[in-house]
Amino acid sequence: MEGNRGSLERIDVLRKITELTKSMIVELSNRSSKMISIDRFKSYCTNSLENCCCRFNLSEGKETLTLQRESHVRRLDVLLRVLLIIQQLLRENRHSSKRDIYYMHPSVFTDQSVVDRAINDICILLQCSRHNLNVVSVGNGLVMGWLRFSEAGRRFDCIKKPNSAHFIPVQVEEVTDIASPADYILVVEKESGEGYSDKSWFHGSRKLNFKFHFDQLKYLVSYFERPVFQRLANDRFCSRNRCIVITGRGYPDVPTRRFLRILVDVLALPAFCLVDCDPYGFDILTTYRFGSMQMAYDAKYLRIPQLQWLGAFAADSEKYNLPEQCLIPLTLQDKRRTEALLQRCYLRREVPQWRLELDSMLQRGVKFEIEALSVHNISFLSEEYLPSKIKNELTTGKF
């Protein structure tokens, strides 16, 4: 049955490709400079609530590509080349990554973002999702915990080793037979612990003057050695807590977001998100819950409106007695980014409390990583912070 449905979807998309190319040929034969009009979507605006008309599934206007502008001619060239590749993939029932497509014409495409834009335009024109084009993302996401599922005939049983990571399937639409006895889903921001690129923590460490306890200093150094997902795996968090843990390892890719959305829909479990207390962590949180601007046209299938923000909050630095050395001053870029985030309409409309938390970080003027909680105990995050936060959420029923 799944195979038949997939075949029907491919036939439908191929039909739409034929209709699109025919319409472009008609425009050319009529000597019209107008080639195509592409609907434009956005996931948010910065207008007041009274003037906001954002809807995640409605077009916010059209962009018309003509032959009169050189930049449009180039975009049309790229779009048609990518469309030809997609048509071949669908006819042969093969899949390809965006990177593979880029390397088919690197001198023409010049940059991966050019291909990405063309794929998004094609999805809008054909009114479909990226997976319908047989174009897949190189998956970065990981999952562990109390979960079983099948994908393309393969069975994944995470429950046998709940603290072992599994890659999230690239072809998420082929995931079936999802089952789980979990109580909740936890999304964590990162798996790799790069630390902040400006290394500002080291500047703060000069204030230690060797009076700071050596063990605490050792835990601070663990910022760069103990990624959050791995920390939870090492502490056997999923063995102690019946849950599913997912990470997109930073800004989440499409397979991670789609996989999470499917799990939430199928399992009907509360979902919580843990990110760094900084503007980038908050932006990652909103990408999961509200979708990205780049793929606003597909937000219906990628956004997770049930997702709740678990932390880290600005007030946690005081609540959990984080020393000054763990707090990093917000840069001018951080402040500007935070101010821009505060203007997004969906925060005012759907989660005003989130705006208060974000504004609190801005007023305090400092940020910190989740790993800073290790200053008290290397397993403080998994043994105290997360259990208490989640228990409170489940008890109050905020989700």
The per-residue pLDDT string of the chain (399 residues; one tens digit each, 9 = 90 and over) reads 344 455 668 899 999 999 999 888 888 888 777 788 888 887 776 777 767 766 666 677 888 888 889 999 999 999 999 999 999 999 999 999 999 999 999 988 989 999 999 999 999 999 998 889 999 877 788 999 999 999 888 899 999 999 999 999 888 888 999 999 999 999 998 754 443 333 333 333 333 343 444 444 444 434 333 488 888 999 999 999 999 999 998 889 899 999 999 999 999 999 999 999 999 999 999 999 998 888 888 888 889 999 999 988 999 988 988 888 889 999 999 999 999 999 898 888 889 999 999 999 999 999 999 888 888 888 888 899 999 999 988 887 654
Nearest to 354 by CA among 259, 263, 290: 290
Amino acid at 65: L
Q: Residue 224: its pLDDT value, please? A: 39
CA nearest to 66, candidates 43, 32, 40: 32
Determine the Cα–Cα distance for residues 376 and 381; give it in Å rounded to an integer. 9
Q: What is the pLDDT of residue 220?
A: 42
pLDDT number for residue 213: 45
Residue among 120, 121, 229 at smallest CA distance from 168: 229
State the catalytic residues: 103
pLDDT at 206: 35
Q: Determine whether 141 is exposed, middle or buried from the number of CB atoms within 10 Å of its CB (0-12, 13-18, 19+).
A: buried
**Separation CA 287–CA 299 (nearest Å):** 10
